[in-house]
A and B are shown apart, each in its own frame.
Chain A
Amino acid sequence: MTIHDSAIPIRIENLVLSIHQRNGGALSSLNLDLVLLDKSLLLDSLDLAEVMVAVEREFNCSPFSVPPPPRTWRDLVNLIQNCVERRNPE
């Protein structure tokens, strides 16, 4: 499976916003430079675990299993991209 670079941030944004809106939030886009549990996102650790389950299922990556863990959403996107590229070298 080939995953385009732009597909990963879009998918992460969709995942985060769906949980954010479920929690009563009204954001329509995700600033990737926010830390994972930034207050404005209305996510807690349980919600973060849900995002990671989806990441593991869709990208076959476990970003928290190898230190250092991601701090921002951009860190997470980069970790997934590296993981996908290692698995599918061009």
Chain B
Amino acid sequence: MTFLTSSRLDDLFPLFERMDNEACAIALAPAQPTLPQTPDPERDFPEESWLGVTSSGSTGLPRLIWKKWSDLRSSASRKHLLLNCPWASPFQPWTYAGVMVALQAWVGNSTILSLTSDWDSNWQDLLRHQIQAISCTPTFLDLQMQSVGLASREANPWSPIQITLGGEPLRPGLGLRLTEWFPKTRYTVIYATAELGTLLKSHTLDGWYDIASLESRFTGWRLVQGTLEVLIDERWVSSSDTIEIHDGKMRVIGRSDNVANVAGSKVNLAEISRLAEEVPGILHAVAVAENSSITGQIVCLKYALINDANESSGTQRRLEEHLRKHLPKEAWPRRWVQSAVGMGPNSKRALT
């Protein structure tokens, strides 16, 4: 098994060539030591090629998901394949989304450009490389276009043939903005996970998907307390996402488990609560996800002090410093609510 760490999507092209030509197992990861022990498909299934992608997982803790190369390759859309069409994406090459967009470009005999959070540099690259297709989260494209500004957009119009959106639920207001910016573009909105692959696809920007899109990919599906489950190899597998159904369509509301999706990164809320309660003076803490028009969701921390009256500002300062020291930036609480502890409906203590 080979581990590969790279920051550029086009570094995946030689891997795709190799997996097409010989049976091998290649694991993609941001850094090898961060991943837990993983099975080795090269040992268990030596006759096939396997690609391991890093997922933040349903718990928010990174893990490796193995994908059969032949399945990945056949899933690259041939029906609407854009031949010789330069792609761009901010997705990392070790993620499922990054692999899928790189694969789309590779199968289409094209190039792919990795985008960053440097909006000015991205804009120059999009124009200079005449990028015709982009795959990103809705929030990324929104922020990219807002940072460019109207004058630059009018002076240097950019109108890609294809925009593929995924990684977070699409808010209808943002969909309207995209339509104004790119009225002639073809849109594909994808709901996918590294574990389950593509679940739903849509070409509208209202956040809703036809249920038929799900039924074409899975032999069965059901909602369990609002959470979508699909039938894979006669086994029900949870998507961990809450779904709303209306008039033959479904839309993703958000995570059903204790995980927030902040700017495309999964954040383990239980871990934040646990860390917060390590701080002297904190009686109880609960991290919850709240909607944000900038990053999809943010973390809000509700906390109660052991002694409400004493030195609350100092305790909050220590709490902020502790969490910023131990958590990645996307997991930092952005809203702080000091509460009192009361009894919840299940007789467990709860923040009121």
A interface list, Cβ under 8 A from B? 35-37, 39, 44-46, 48-50, 52-53, 57, 62, 64-69, 71
B interface list, Cβ under 8 A from A? 117-120, 139, 142-143, 146-147, 149-150, 173, 176-177, 180, 262-263, 292-295, 298, 329-330, 332, 334-335
**CB <8 Å contact, B117 and A44:** yes
Whose C-beta in chain A lies nearest to the C-beta of B119?
Answer: A37
A contact residues around B295 at 8 Å (CB): 45-46, 49
> What is the CA–CA distance of A66 and B173 in the complex, to the nearest angstrom?
7
Q: What is the minimal beta-carbon distance from A56 to any residue of chain B, in angstroms?
A: 9
Q: What is the minimal beta-carbon distance from B293 to any residue of chain A, in angstroms?
A: 4
Q: What is the minimal beta-carbon distance from A37 to any residue of chain B, in angstroms?
A: 6
Whose C-beta in chain A lies nearest to the C-beta of B330?
Answer: A46
> What is the CA–CA distance of A67 and B21 in the complex, to the nearest angstrom?
50
> What is the CA–CA distance of A52 and B157 in the complex, to the nearest angstrom?
29
Whose C-beta in chain A lies nearest to the C-beta of B265?
Answer: A46
Residue of A39, A66, A69 contacting most chain B CB atoms (<10 Å): A69
B contact residues around A49 at 8 Å (CB): 263, 292, 294-295, 298, 334
**CB <8 Å contact, A46 and B332:** yes
With contact pairs A35-B149, A46-B262, A67-B173 given, residues A52 and B330 touching in the complex (Cβ less than 8 Å)? no
B contact residues around A65 at 8 Å (CB): 173, 293
Whose C-beta in chain A lies nearest to the C-beta of B171?
Answer: A65
**CB <8 Å contact, A53 and B293:** no
**CB <8 Å contact, B147 and A37:** yes
> What is the CA–CA distance of A8 and B177 in the complex, to the nearest angstrom?
27
> What is the CA–CA distance of A36 and B119 in the complex, to the nearest angstrom?
11
Q: What is the minimal beta-carbon distance from B193 to any residue of chain A, in angstroms?
A: 22
B contact residues around A48 at 8 Å (CB): 294
With contact pairs A53-B335, A65-B173, A67-B177 given, residues A45 and B143 touching in the complex (Cβ less than 8 Å)? yes
Residue contacts A-B, CB under 8 angstroms, 5 given: A49-B294, A50-B334, A52-B292, A53-B292, A71-B147
With contact pairs A37-B143, A46-B330, A65-B173 given, residues A71 and B294 touching in the complex (Cβ less than 8 Å)? no
> What is the CA–CA distance of A67 and B174 in the complex, to the nearest angstrom?
8
Whose C-beta in chain B lies nearest to the C-beta of A72?
Answer: B149
**CB <8 Å contact, B334 and A46:** yes
Residue of A36, A46, A64, A71 contacting most chain B CB atoms (<10 Å): A46
**CB <8 Å contact, B335 and A57:** yes
Contact partner, B117, options A35, A45, A52, A53, Cβ 8 Å = A45
Q: What is the minimal beta-carbon distance from B175 to any residue of chain A, in angstroms?
A: 11
> What is the CA–CA distance of A19 and B4 in the complex, to the nearest angstrom?
35
Going nearest first, the 5 A-B pairs with the smallest beta carbon separation are A64-B293, A49-B294, A50-B334, A49-B295, A49-B292
**CB <8 Å contact, A62 and B263:** no
> What is the CA–CA distance of A51 and B294 in the complex, to the nearest angstrom?
10
With contact pairs A45-B117, A48-B294, A64-B293 given, residues A53 and B334 touching in the complex (Cβ less than 8 Å)? yes
> What is the CA–CA distance of A49 and B292 in the complex, to the nearest angstrom?
7
> What is the CA–CA distance of A67 and B173 in the complex, to the nearest angstrom?
8
A contact residues around B298 at 8 Å (CB): 49-50, 53
